[in-house]
Amino acid sequence: QSVSLHFFSPSLVTCEWLFGVVILAAAVMLVYYCEFTDTFSPAQQGFACRDPALTRPDPGPEQLSRIQPVILYSVVGGLPVVLVSLAVISAQLTKGMVVVMGDCCYVNPMVRRTFRFLGVYVFGLFATDILVNAGQLVTGSPAPYFLSVCQPNYTALGCQDVAHFVSQSDACTGDADDITRARKTFPSKEAALSLYTAVYLAMYVMSCIGTSGGRLTGPLLSLSLVSLAVLTGINRVAEYRNHWSDTIVGQVIGGAVAVFLVSCNSCTFVLLMRGPDLRVSLHVATVVLNMVVAQNGPEYVAFALNFHRCRKQEWN
């Protein structure tokens, strides 16, 4: 089943796509400056002498973790592409497709849907990273192994008792890079990114599958994704790379961003699940609604705008 609709202005579609690209590019640049430059440095937070919460052994570089960065970022970046592509292809084969035409442009439905969902996902991924980096830079909260890499001179600092608080910025004598790494733990970036990916994909899977694949297929896949993300946060605590508070706050940030983005695109997720019949009906209903507004005056404008918002999220 293939339906062609000719009702979109190509200039409007182009402007909205360009605006989205500009926003995404700005987010990428901000992430670059936070991750790969020394433009921003974490706050120099003080510590208590021989604080038991900060005396864990140094777990070493992230590459030595059970969940290495290359594995985590491969899953975070690759799994959504695979799932969304499979869902779009499956929807096109089983439910038919709707071809959106402007005055002189053709928008392939598979490309349009894939880029729409992946674009929102990538923006949320960078937004989560920015929020986490901002929290780490503002708080400068020390990691559980902070004192192991800080290597303070307790005698020179006058640490005769544990309750003595050290606030000097030059109290540490260890490697500067290790100290900076130990100050960027709250909230946990790994916990935030993993749960963001899990929640976003879980809600996407439920929208695509619903009950069509059985009552347990969608919930099982969604629960598996969220469980793996939670285990990632637990692993961070078990390896002494983060405190419990770091992982919990990180997961709250990641989950909140995912829920927010899905809620903002709720009309798109619902329409994705219903197939082309509802989308064609929406176009017909839009034409009728415009006629009603023209005949009955401005009191119908608010309802019309809300209806157009849902329709616009599907076709843009």
Q: What does the pLDDT look like over 79-107, one tens digit per residue? A: 999 988 887 777 677 655 555 554 455 55
- End-to-end CA distance of the chain: give it in Å, rounded: 21
pLDDT tens for each residue of 180-232: 999 999 999 999 999 999 999 998 888 776 656 667 888 899 999 999 999 99
- Are the C-beta atoms of residues 155 and 65 closer than 8 Å to each other? no
Instruction: Identify the DSSP state of 215.
Output: T
pLDDT of residue 140: 92
3-class secondary-structure state, position 107 = strand
Q: Which residues of the chain have pLDDT under 70?
A: 1-14, 16, 91, 94-109, 161-162, 209-214, 266-316
- Are the C-beta atoms of residues 121 and 258 closer than 8 Å to each other? no
Distance CA 292, CA 301 (A): 10
Q: What single letter denotes the amino acid at residue 183?
A: R
Residue of 109, 42, 35, 118 lying closest to 78 (CA atoms) = 118
Residues 6 or more apart in contact with residue 265 via CB below 8 angstroms:
120, 313
Distance CA 62, CA 77 (A): 18
pLDDT of residue 184: 93
- In the numeric block, the tokens 């780490």 are attached to 136
pLDDT of residue 7: 44
pLDDT of residue 297: 55
